[in-house]
Amino acid sequence: MEIKKIVLRKMKMEFKVPFEVSFARMTDKHFIAVEVHSRDHVGYGDCSAFEHPYYNEETTTTAWHIMQDFLIPLLFKQEGIARPEEVHSLFAHIRRNNMAKAALDCAIWDLYAKEQGISVAKALGGTKDKIETGVSIGIQGSPDDLVRVVAKHREEGYRRVKVKIKPGKDIEYLRAIRREFGDVMLMADANSAYTLKDIDLFKAMDDLDLIMIEQPLSNDDIVDHAKLQAVLKTRICLDESIHSVDDARHAIELGSARTINIKVARVGGLTAARNIHNLCQEHGIPVWCGGMLDTGIARAHNIAVSSLPNYKFPGDVPASDRYWKVDLTTPAVVIDKEAMIRVPETPGIGFEPIPELLEKYTYEKKEILR
């Protein structure tokens, strides 16, 4: 692949309804869309960093800087790129900034697959033609409010429900769901809102038949998570703690979790995600694909990576209309009656940005020529 130019777009889209997690309440999504142009094709990526450094250290402002001033110059120094895996190695000496790296990495995977005439899923080694998806629900005002929201999504076909929790809005909310929906695949996502002082609370959650509790403790911890997992029947899932293959290896060796949420953006792209997937598969640790309140571009990459065989749990890869009145890409992602999404077989990610919407939601644009 010979890259001719790269286009960065700062964009903003409003959520259909506000989304609340333990650390913030969001009404819109700021993100950076990336276009990597060769002579005949365009590959698309999405930098999922938020406007503020609440989830991790990156923001849209810092990611723009890192891509423009460090990562893109590294790409342009190369005469050509034979395989997309080369990008992960090329960026390796740049510390962290994984969401900036992921945007370019994913765009180049899309570009490569289009030039080869195959899907990104096939290029990665995916084995599934459908993936099961779940729904992620932000913190609600009361248990009754949460039950009503869950009921709506159950009617839409979702079987797995992930509920955001925080101190004071946790076990009673989960109990309310379990009373109303005895068979739902239910999980809780704490986004690092608790400490080991809350161990009795988590032991009480063992009675709720949760499929997992996601990142209950500090965002950079694997030691205390190992202590907590040792006394729980419910599996712990690590999210924010895992940024690399080495992080995953350390967590597995310590027994910090029994599953890992692999977010493409958090780990630095599709190559890194596949590497972590392979490590976990070797150790019998099932994984699943988390989301970042994604627009259509990032969702497309999530669908592709979820086709790998060790993605065992339904992911946070919802239908196009979950967060947005009108999504950025076409065709729309829809779920069937079994909460499944078809993995595209067309070249690249299988979805294309809608040009007029790409322009409509862009508030800053920069073209960088080779």
- The predicted-structure confidence for 264-305, as pLDDT tens digits, reads as follows 999 999 999 999 999 999 999 999 999 998 999 999 999 999
Mean pLDDT over 329-347 rounds to 95
Q: CATH number of the domain at 5-117+352-369, out of 3.30.1330.10, 3.40.605.10, 3.30.310.50, 3.30.390.10?
A: 3.30.390.10
Q: Which of 10, 114, 169, 263 is catalytic?
A: 263
Percent of the chain with pLDDT over 90: 92
Q: What confidence score (pLDDT) does residue 97 get? A: 97
Q: What confidence score (pLDDT) does residue 318 get? A: 86
Could you give the dihedral angle defined by the CA atoms of residues 14, 20, 21 and 24, in that order, rounded to the nearest 10 degrees? 70
| pTM of the full structure | 0.96
| Model confidence at 23: pLDDT above 90 | no
Superfamily of domain 123-342: Enolase-like C-terminal domain (3.20.20.120)
Confirm if 304 and 296 have CB atoms less than 8 A apart: no
Same CATH topology for 5-117+352-369 and 123-342? no
Tell me whether residue 114 is one of the annotated catalytic residues: no
Give per-residue pLDDT as tens, 100-131: 999 999 999 999 999 999 999 999 999 999 99
Q: What confidence score (pLDDT) does residue 113 get? A: 98
Q: What confidence score (pLDDT) does residue 325 get? A: 87
Give per-residue pLDDT as tens, 173-198: 999 999 999 999 999 999 999 999 99
Token pair, residue 83, equals 């395989």
Q: What confidence score (pLDDT) does residue 55 get? A: 87
The CA distance from 214 to 2, in Å, is 41
- Domain locations in the chain? 5-117+352-369, 123-342
| Model confidence at 22: pLDDT above 80 | no
The CA distance from 340 to 317, in Å, is 10
Q: What confidence score (pLDDT) does residue 222 get? A: 98
Q: Which of 128, 164, 312, 325 is catalytic?
A: 164
| Model confidence at 24: pLDDT above 80 | no
Give per-residue pLDDT as tens, 32-44: 999 999 999 999 9
Percent of the chain with pLDDT over 70: 100
Confirm if 319 and 333 have CB atoms less than 8 A apart: yes
Q: Strands (DSSP E) along the chain, which ranges?
A: 5-20, 25-37, 42-47, 130-132, 135-137, 160-164, 185-189, 212-214, 236-238, 259-262, 287-289, 329-330, 340-342, 352-353, 362-369
3-state secondary structure (DSSP) of residue 369? strand
Tell me whether residue 337 is one of the annotated catalytic residues: no
Mean pLDDT for all residues in the chain: 96
3-state secondary structure (DSSP) of residue 47? strand
